[in-house]
């Protein structure tokens, strides 16, 4: 009996997280939100079960309870029920529901269904019932994926993705179709490893400007580029001996606005430090011009390792931008954060952040968190 209890305790992990913030709302009123969450994960006989319960306070108490997320993997496939992250045609989705997959050799069938949750784009309503079926085939140098997605309040869509090639080079094609347009999203890309540590790609893409209520619509494209956006571009990734990575990409975009052809640009440059050192700096630059306006974004994150259990992180960003038909403005942000592992079961984090934008010329925020791993 003692052995069974010890095995059950070893397979169960519990963690308590307490967070307190000081910030302002959109009206400039100071707020002091706080939250306390308890997360538990247990695994027995190949089945993992997790859940959380918590309280948050921002003027009034808001309880949150979610008790079940169960999953299991076997030689024939896998299943999962509860709150989870599922694969969509273009990006992951948060879902309250279930998914099931069956695999045999190079063939896989999968499906999921439930209520969509917490989408940061304006294409899916929170709580909308959705379902997806998908089939994947792997044969030699070819990998094919075919799927269909439908929602109670959204039109059904079909999608397909094909990869032809190996680890060093290949061609990838993606198509999404639906009742709003025969081709809602199409992309073709050629990817290749030119030399060890150097990987490059070129692509061409078309995206329709669908209504925001569509599964693939975006308000900014529908409002300023009603005929959609075309794009051609490329990227290069350089990886050094110390696993540091330099990522660069550029794309030329084209769209029609008031029957006049408009051109835009997408630029990304990022440096990711490799092996751990006493200190690291990760700078990044992004530029966008196209439907809706233009912006430059220069940011950096610096990390200083004070010891094996303590680190100091500093972030900064400067973002000059101009919305369509409006003057230029600038967003400035900066922050400092300390992480410390006091014991094997106790971690603390505290930070402060300052920002300046068109809404608040100076906004100061602070946060503190305590994470306790329970025995």
Q: What would the pLDDT profile of 339-355 be if each residue is shown by its tens digit?
A: 999 988 899 999 999 98
Distance of alpha carbon 298 from alpha carbon 319, whole angstroms: 6
Distances (CA, A) of 217 to 213, 254, 354: 7, 18, 34
Taking all residues of the chain, what is their mean pLDDT, rounded to a whole number? 85
Q: Decide if pLDDT at 10 tops 50.
A: no
Question: Looking at residues 227-244, what average pLDDT do you find?
Answer: 88
Question: Taking the domains of the chain in order of start, what are their residue ranges?
Answer: 1-57, 292-375
Token readout for 221 is 């494209």
Q: Decide if pLDDT at 45 tops 60.
A: yes
Query: Are 67 and 76 in contact, with CB atoms under 8 Å apart?
Result: no
121 — pLDDT class (breaks 50, 70, 90) = very low
Strands (E), 222-328: 229-239, 245-257, 260-272, 279-290, 293-305, 310-323
Regarding beta strands 229-239 and 198-207, do their DSSP bridges make them parallel or antiparallel, or are they unpaired? antiparallel
- Torsion, Cα of 115, 26, 367, 37 (10° steps): -30
- Torsion, Cα of 116, 120, 122, 125 (10° steps): 20
Distance of alpha carbon 353 from alpha carbon 368, whole angstroms: 12
Distance of alpha carbon 96 from alpha carbon 82, whole angstroms: 5
Q: Decide if pLDDT at 142 tops 60.
A: yes
The predicted pLDDT at position 12 comes to 85
The predicted pLDDT at position 136 comes to 96
Q: 374 or 329: whose pLDDT is higher?
A: 329
Query: Are 301 and 291 in contact, with CB atoms under 8 Å apart?
Result: no
Q: Decide if pLDDT at 67 tops 80.
A: no
The predicted pLDDT at position 2 comes to 33
pTM (2 d.p.): 0.80
Question: Looking at residues 93-122, what average pLDDT do you find?
Answer: 82
Cβ-Cβ contacts under 8 Å for 34 (sequence gap 6 or more) = 18, 19, 20, 21, 56, 57, 58
The predicted pLDDT at position 189 comes to 97
Q: Decide if pLDDT at 56 tops 90.
A: no
Phi, psi of 97 (to 5 degrees): 175, -140
Most confident of 35-39, 40-44, 257-261, 310-314: 310-314
DSSP state letter for 348 = E
The predicted pLDDT at position 212 comes to 61
């Amino acid at each position: 009996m003692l052995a069974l209890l010890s095995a059950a305790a070893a397979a169960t992990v519990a963690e308590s997280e307490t967070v307190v913030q000081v910030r302002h709302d959109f009206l400039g009123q100071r707020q002091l939100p706080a939250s306390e969450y308890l997360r538990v994960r247990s695994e027995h006989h190949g089945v993992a079960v997790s859940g959380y319960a918590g309280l948050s306070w921002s003027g009034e108490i808001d309880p949150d309870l979610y008790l079940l997320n169960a999953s299991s993997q076997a030689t024939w496939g896998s299943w999962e029920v509860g709150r989870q992250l599922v694969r969509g045609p273009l990006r992951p989705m948060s879902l309250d529901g279930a998914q099931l997959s069956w695999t045999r050799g190079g063939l896989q069938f999968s499906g999921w269904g439930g209520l969509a949750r917490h989408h940061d784009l304006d294409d899916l309503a929170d709580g909308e019932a959705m379902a997806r079926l998908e089939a994947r085939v792997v044969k030699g140098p070819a990998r094919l994926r075919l799927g269909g997605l439908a929602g109670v309040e959204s039109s059904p869509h079909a999608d397909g993705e094909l990869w032809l090639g190996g680890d060093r080079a290949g061609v990838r094609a993606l198509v999404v179709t639906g009742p709003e347009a025969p081709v809602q999203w199409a992309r073709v890309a050629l990817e290749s490893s030119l030399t060890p540590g150097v990987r490059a790609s070129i692509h061409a893409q078309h995206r329709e400007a669908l209504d925001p209520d569509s599964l693939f619509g975006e308000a900014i494209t529908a409002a300023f580029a009603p005929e959609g956006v075309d794009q051609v571009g490329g990227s290069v990734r350089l990886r050094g001996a110390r696993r540091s990575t330099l990522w660069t990409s550029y794309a030329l975009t084209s769209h029609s606005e008031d029957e006049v052809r408009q051109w835009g640009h997408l630029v990304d440059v990022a440096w990711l430090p490799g092996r751990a050192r006493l200190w690291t700096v990760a700078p990044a630059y992004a530029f966008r011009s196209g439907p809706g306006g233009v912006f430059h974004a220069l940011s950096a994150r610096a990390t200083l390792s004070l010891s094996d259990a303590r680190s100091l992180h500093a972030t900064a960003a400067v973002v000059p931008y101009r919305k369509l038909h409006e003057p230029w403005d600038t967003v400035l942000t900066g922050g400092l954060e300390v992480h410390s592992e006091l014991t094997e079961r106790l971690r603390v984090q505290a930070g402060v952040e300052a920002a300046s934008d068109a809404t608040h010329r100076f906004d100061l925020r602070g946060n503190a968190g305590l994470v306790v791993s329970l025995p």
